[in-house]
Amino acid sequence: MASVPKANELIAGTDHKPPKTGWMDTPVDFKPGTWCYAGKSKNLQVVGLPNPREWSPADEDWKLPKNWQETIHDGLKDRLGKYRSLQLFMDICVRCGACSDKCHFFIGSGDPKNMPVLRAELLRSIYRKDFTLAGKVLGKMAGARELTEDVLKEWFYYFFQCTECRRCSVFCPYGIDTAEITMVARELLNLIGCNIDWVVGPVANCYMNGNHLGIQPHAFKDMIEFFVEEIEEVTGIKIEPTFNRKGAEVLFITPSGDVFADPGTYTLMGYLMLFHEIGLDYTWSTYASEGGNFGLFTSHEMMKRLNSKMYAEAKRLGVKWILGGECGHMWRVINQYMDTMNGPADFLEEPVSPITGTKFDNAKSTKMVHIVEFTADLIKNGKLKLDKSRNDHLKVTYHDSCNPARAMGFFEEPRYVLNNVCNHFYDMPPNTIKEQTFCCGSGSGLNTDEYMEMRMRGGLPRANAVKHVHEQHGVNMLSCICAIDRAVLVPLMNYWVPGVDVTGVHELVANALVMEGEKERTTDLRNEPLEGMEDSDNEDL
Ligand code: SF4
Ligand code: SF4
């Protein structure tokens, strides 16, 4: 794994000067730390993806199938016919440049091919050559070029330097969504076996074991039971979750990242405590044990396949509706694609909170409710006893994860919950939050270690906004509602803004939640002493 330059060296070594040669004549440079390892043959085979083989993007020979250009041409033709948006996005860009400085990868790297307009041109230039008269006749003069191996390598490099975050689309006067262009480009690369392992590995695991991390059913259950013991230590309360229970009212599904690694695990403890306290009739599934869907980063077909397991499991268990945890792209799949892929889920009931009676009209067809919305409704209806002061040792800000923000318009609910469980909440500057939020720099399957330099570059604008509230208000905790964020913002903060930790919203909810029959709490879920309880913690030690 390539070492990452120190933060000050990274800044000093980055300028935004264009190269001396034109973009079509500037070859791609696979620098260590800026590209991801290739998808392993065994993972491609598990899910039947084409051209399984061992290869590396750094190799001269990518072992492509003989007819690879024809496969890409036919694949693009098929998608232009299927997706009207793609045809429009290929034709209507006027190159106004309004999107060009909005991408976190361009800001952090200074590489012009990370400007969304130019990223899209990488595909558009091939579209023009193959599908437009001007491109066929005038070639380069009309912005067209042949699909060569060098172009393909450029595609791989730059379409895996786009987190599909959609920030650029907010600023495009024509509504061009470069994330959708990236999705199609990645899908085309997939047709000839050019994917990254951090995407196809989780896809294969999910297909085989129900979750990205490949956690088997018995281990999944053991891990949750471990958290039950941790909760008992902090609160004195024994929680008894159920697994694969037929006839439960609600199926709860969350990203497996929260079962596996800190600080997501504390968010998971938060869910367990909340559900216990309100007496929710729910079950976990050890088969649909993943809310995330890396199919979104592979192909529309793969996204559909992986999404279907959640609904198949809801049907098998006979639940009324599904409650979903704090995840990012899971909600993009549910909110934007589920209905036309596998829905509407008419065999389930329209979700109604059994505690408040609130009907979630927005989940009428997907039958899946976001946990933050569910909790905000509990608070609004006075169903939770909360002691905000238990989070007084924290000064909190909130990172709008790209997908719940831009794919759901989910801005106020998390802030409402946070303001009800914390006394010290500070938003980052307005042009870095809500619909204009900056990406963590590691989404869409790019959260891998060999890619660390690019992650730190891509995360720079987000980190810069956190630094602002850290310096202005002493913020020491960055909250978010996405499992990938919970994993990747930790190294990002350590790199750019040391002294800021990362949490899920439901960890903070659980800290504040006054549970019936609990013992006096002296620590938070991380075993950190609560404010004023430092001495009692020392006595325990
Ligand atoms: S803002 Fe839209 S129209 Fe303007 S260059 Fe970007 S994609 Fe093209
Ligand atoms: S979708 Fe996000 S990562 Fe991709 S080009 Fe647009 S701003 Fe950059």
Q: What is the pLDDT along the chain (541 residues), one digit of tens a residue?
A: 678 999 999 999 898 988 999 999 999 999 999 999 999 999 999 999 999 999 999 999 999 999 999 999 999 999 999 999 999 999 999 999 999 999 999 999 999 999 999 999 999 999 999 999 999 999 999 999 999 999 999 999 999 999 999 999 999 999 999 999 999 999 999 999 999 999 999 999 999 998 998 899 999 999 999 999 999 999 999 999 999 999 999 999 999 989 988 999 999 999 999 999 999 999 999 999 999 999 999 999 999 999 999 999 999 999 999 999 999 999 999 999 999 999 899 999 999 999 999 999 999 999 999 999 999 999 999 999 999 999 999 999 999 999 999 998 999 999 999 999 999 999 999 999 999 999 999 999 999 999 999 999 999 999 999 999 999 999 999 999 999 999 999 999 999 999 999 999 999 999 999 999 999 999 999 999 998 877 764 444 4
Give dist(CA 439, CA 431) in Å, integer: 13
CATH code assigned to 208-380: 1.20.1050
Whether ligand 1 lies within 6 angstroms of the CB of 117 is answered as yes
Kindly identify the ligand whose nearest atom is closest to the C-alpha of 90.
1
Distance 95 CA to ligand 1 centre (A): 5
Kindly identify the ligand whose nearest atom is closest to the C-alpha of 102.
2
Q: Are 135 and 37 in contact (CB under 8 A)?
A: no
Residue extents of the structural domains in the chain? 7-30+50-194, 208-380, 388-512
Q: Are 439 and 433 in contact (CB under 8 A)?
A: no
Nearest-CA residue for atom 8 of ligand 1: 93
Nearest-CA residue for atom 3 of ligand 2: 162
Task: Indicate the class that CATH gives domain 388-512.
Answer: alpha beta
Kindly identify the ligand whose nearest atom is closest to the C-alpha of 168.
2
pLDDT at position 536, please? 64
Give dist(CA 387, CA 27) in Å, integer: 58
Distance 468 CA to ligand 1 centre (A): 29
User: 415, 422, 428: which is closest to 466 by C-alpha?
Assistant: 428
Give dist(CA 497, CA 484) in Å, integer: 19
Whether ligand 2 lies within 6 angstroms of the CB of 162 is answered as yes
The length of the chain is: 541
Distance 16 CA to ligand 2 centre (A): 17
Is the omega angle on the peptide bond into residue 344 within 30 degrees of 0, that is, cis? yes
Q: Which of 117, 167, 180 to mutate to test the pocket of ligand 1 (most atoms within 8 A of CB)?
A: 117
Provide the whole-model pTM. 0.96
Please count the other Cβ atoms lying within 10 Å of the Cβ belonging to residue 212: 27
